[in-house]
Amino acid sequence: MSEQPKSRLPWALALPARVLLVAGAAFALLSCDDTRQEVERRAAEVIGEAATARLTGSGEGMERAADLINIPVEVRPLAEGVYQARGVANTHMVATDEGKVVFDTGFALQAAKQRRLLQETVPDGPVTHVILSHSHADHSGGTRFWLEDGVEIVAHQEFPEEQRYLKELEPYLHYRNRTLFPFIPEKPPNIGFLRYGGIEPTILVGNGEPYRFELGGTRFEVIGTPGAEGADNLVLWLPEQKILFSGDFFGPNFPQFPNVFTMRGEKIRKPIEYIHSLNRVIALEPEMIVPSHNDPITGREKIRADLVRMRDAVQYVHDAIIAGMNAGKTVHELMAEITLPPELELRQTHGRVSWAVKSIWEYYATWFHFDSTTELYAVPASTIYPELVELAGVDALVERARRHIAAQEPVQALHLLDIALGSETDDRAALEARRAALQILLDDAEAGLRNSYEIDWLRYRLRETEERLGAAPAAG
């Protein structure tokens, strides 16, 4: 590892000195508790503006997570009394004569500005409820900016547990997120009011009866809908307006095949739980869906048809896995075999059927695949790669890998190159072959499913291969 000393500093220290001076001066003015929150909000906005100005997405449109950073932070009305502050994740406000309800509080770096713009749009009336769709940092990051005396924080009953594990595993998760999404800050925010976690809900909602309340004549229902983006998902339903605030229940795009697996390495998600949750949402018959990423969707018939297709697609994949497991098929056979029939075809830019197969298989069967005795011991195949290299020679392995590349079999090539590079880490020919194999996979991914995670992973591996090639000794 030849990390530059600078990159080990907390990300905030890499901000322009002027920004830190402004933020520092704001803190210095603190004189009593009443102003502390307002000062924090102003400092957060200055720091957030400076940090996000330095971040850019992939520039490819709104299909990829990396592009959410390009969405301008601004408020737009969605229906009477319903406002959305856009951003990486949207924050919503439902205004009534007696007060205001907030749904999701956004990405910490944008949340203070989202709050200010919403409060300027609807200055009158207290905020009575802040409802959090789930514990992910991009949906709960601005909660502290909304806290006033008497505000209820409404979250799912699993929220505290999800927040706990996401906080305890923060360094591990941040490394993975940062690897996949290079646009996010290098280190988790290290300034108190931008830090993840510490939210204490005052009202917990389970998966049974909704939490119902009325404010200024508007009825609100908070419904537990676990299964897609975590065990602590909930949605907000306005029964009179027939508007569903869906948080991340559908992921960033609607409709799509859901992400029952996360490449960034979160806990398993339960497929049948998600089907139950989809059934609850279908029964509501929404006329407008307002997700916390990207744009609202309208049209009762279209929404219903898409919801039914999502439910049936998950059920279809699930049932095919069960049948395959009972027939004694391996997880890899099922990954290759199970595809959606044409009538259930769904976009796989976020979730992906073959990965769902593996996740659901392992959800039921866990990690022991009943294949090899070696699975039971802490001695992976890579332990003997140097011996294989000794027997076959790096050149022979690379030559065989090249043949697979020529035959458009990049994964077979990568297996051989893992062996070669497992022993000869800077072999130029092996690295060049790896670059060629990864490029085939990336071209296929971009021309095929356009799965955001697959593309982000392959780009990361290509970057890493290029770096190693740059440092490798010249061929000779």
Name the strand (E) or helix (H) holding 56.
Answer: none
Does 138 help bind Zn ion (rule: CB under 5 A)? yes
Taking alpha carbons only, the member of 62, 80, 82 closest to residue 72 is 62
**Distance of closest approach, residue 88 Cβ to Zn ion, in angstroms:** 8
- Residue 82 CB, shortest distance to Zn ion, in Å, is 20
Q: How many CB atoms lie within 10 A of CB 417?
A: 31
Stretch near Zn ion under the rule CB under 5 A, chosen from 10-18, 155-163, 248-256, 338-346: 248-256
CB of 252 to Zn ion, least distance (A): 7
Least distance between Zn ion and beta carbon 110 (Å): 13
Nearest Cα residue to 151 out of 199, 89, 97: 199
Count of positions on this chain that bind Zn ion (CB under 5 A): 2
Q: Which is nearer to Zn ion, 248 or 427 (CB)?
A: 248
Residue 336 to residue 128: CA distance in whole angstroms: 51
Q: Name which position in 40, 45, 232, 248 contacts Zn ion (CB under 5 A).
A: 248
Give the ranges where 366-451 is alpha helix by DSSP (H).
385-392, 394-406, 410-423, 428-447
Q: How far is the CB of 287 from Zn ion (least distance, A)?
A: 23
- Please measure the distance between the N-terminal and C-terminal CA atoms of the chain and give it in whole angstroms: 25
For the bound state, the minimum distance from the C-beta of residue 230 to Zn ion, rounded and expressed in Å, comes to 10
Q: Do residues 138 and 251 lie in contact, with contact meaning Cβ atoms separated by under 8 Å?
A: no
Looking at beta carbons only, is 138 or 306 nearer to Zn ion? 138
Contact between 162 and Zn ion per CB under 5 A: no
Residues 426-465, interacting with Zn ion (CB under 5 A)? none
- Name the residue nearer to Zn ion (CB basis): 11 or 181: 181
CB of 248 to Zn ion, least distance (A): 4
Binding segment for Zn ion (CB under 5 A), chosen from 29-37, 115-123, 137-145, 258-266, is 137-145
Select from 153-161, 247-255, 373-381, 407-415 the region that touches Zn ion (CB under 5 A): 247-255
Q: Which of left, alpha, beta for 147 (phi over 0: left; psi -120 to 50: alpha)?
A: beta
Peptide bond before residue 255 is cis, with ω within 30 degrees of 0: yes
Segment interacting with Zn ion, rule: CB under 5 A, options 135-143, 178-186, 308-316, 348-356: 135-143
d(CA 196, CA 135): 10
Q: To the nearest whole angstrom, how small is the minimum distance from the Cβ of residue 181 to Zn ion?
A: 12
For Cα atoms 130, 187, 470, give the angle at the middle one, nearest 5 degrees: 140
The string of DSSP letters for 162-194 reads HHHHHHHTHHHHHHHHHHH-TTS-SS---SGGG
Would you say 248 or 266 has its CB closer to Zn ion? 248
Bridge-based pairing of strands 127-131 and 100-103 is: parallel
Q: Does 67 bind Zn ion (CB under 5 A)?
A: no
Output the smallest distance, CB 197 to Zn ion, in A: 16
What per-residue string of b and e applies to 143-155 under the rule 16 or more CB within 10 Å gives b?
A: bbbbeeeebebbb
C-beta closer to Zn ion: residue 178 or 434: 178
Cβ 139 to Zn ion shortest distance, Å: 6
Residue (224 or 247) nearer to Zn ion, CB: 247
Cβ proximity to Zn ion: between 138 and 158 the closer is: 138
Nearer to Zn ion, 318 or 350 (CB): 350
The whole-angstrom separation of Cα 472 and Cα 461 is 16
Taking the CA of residue 359 as centre, how many other CA atoms within 13 Å lie in the half-sphere pointing to its CB?
Answer: 25
- Closer to Zn ion by CB, 114 or 241: give it: 114
Piece in contact with Zn ion (CB under 5 A), picked from 68-76, 98-106, 246-254, 403-411: 246-254
| Sheet-wide strand order for 234-238 | 211-215, 218-224, 234-238, 243-247, 288-291, 297-298
Selected range binding Zn ion among 14-22, 214-222, 243-251, 372-380, rule: CB under 5 A? 243-251
**Rule CB under 5 A: which residues touch Zn ion?**
138, 248
